[in-house]
Amino acid sequence: MTTLLRLFTLLATALASAWGATAAHGEVLVVVSESGGAYDEAAEAFRAELQRLAPRQTVVVNPVGNLGSMAEYQLIVTLGSQAARSVAAMGQRPPTIHSLVPKATYDRMAGLKDGRDTAVLLDQPATRQIDLIRVALPGFGRIALLEGGESRELVGQLAEAARERKFAVQREVVMRDNDIFTALQRVLSDPAALIATPDTTVFNGYSIQNIMLTAYRQRSPVLGFSASYVRAGAVLGLYSTPAQIGRQTAELARAALGGQPLPPPQNPRYFEISTNPQVARSIGIFLEEPAQIRASIARLEGVAQ
């Protein structure tokens, strides 16, 4: 009887292991909003990292306009807002990770299923942005914030994080384009670090140059959310590259394929710092090298980069 029980146990273990191996290596579908640029960079980084973590894993990449049945896949990954919205709107589908999407887009998406969707967001954590100013601009004790129609929640988080770190916060609401200059004058009445947010009602192609020029005249550094902001005159830039987002998405996918439940949406784990030393010097600011600043932020967060 003992021998039969042992054989049964070994057989059950073998079958469970075989099922687990099959499940862990089912196909993953990556849906990209469009071909080229950031989407290809993120998709390639995702594929490379997932296959490093799970060499037998199969990854299929399709554009959003070429979707059929998703039932055959074990996991879906979307890259970009268009892909995320299209996939979320579909009926029956496997668990899904939406990546390269702003939090505002994810929060507005219809079709999300409890426990079956998560996201790797583009938005940098508010605490990281404030810590960057604290590390890179130790001479500034004031934070300037402009709140538009798309950024109320984020601006609130930034204000809270700033006050927790003993910054004075100057915050103004912008209702119309015509309000931007007046609001900017008020928040920069004394030099302050102005944080740009991905709110197109405030920071857009029409307003950004005037915002940069006004901040410069007020000897106030701007923290941007992309490398292009730094090229346009921001003293600091904080952002995650598509490859970094792809890498994090692969780590999340590997855990899901291994049987772990999908976690809540998460901010980027990996990030880059850019600086504009020329603009900084012209308003009397000395900056450390970006790598040094980045390392300091990573140490504060306890995150390996």
Q: Which of 169, 164, 165, 160 is nearest to 142 (CA)?
A: 169
User: Torsions phi, psi of 207, nearest 5?
Assistant: -100, -20
By CB atoms closer than 10 A (0-12, 13-18, 19+), residue 206 is exposed
C-alpha angle with apex 101: 77 to 236, nearest 5 degrees?
130
Strands 117-121 and 96-101: parallel
pLDDT at position 262: 96
DSSP 266: B
- Specify the CATH architecture of the domain 2-121+244-257: 3-Layer(aba) Sandwich (3.40)
The CATH number of domain 126-239+271-301 is 3.40.50.2300? yes
Q: pLDDT tens across 207-252, in order? A: 999 999 999 999 999 999 999 999 999 999 999 999 999 999 999 9
- The residue ranges of every structural domain in the chain are 2-121+244-257, 126-239+271-301
Would you write out the chain's pLDDT as a tens digit for each of its 305 residues?
444 334 333 333 333 333 333 333 479 999 999 999 999 999 999 999 999 999 999 999 999 887 777 888 999 999 999 999 999 998 789 999 999 999 988 998 988 988 899 999 999 999 999 999 999 999 999 999 999 988 999 999 999 999 999 999 999 999 888 889 999 999 999 999 999 999 988 999 889 999 999 999 999 999 999 999 999 999 999 999 999 999 999 999 999 999 999 999 999 999 999 999 999 999 999 999 999 999 999 999 986 65
pTM of structure: 0.86
Fold matches, 2-121+244-257 and 126-239+271-301: yes
pLDDT at position 147: 95
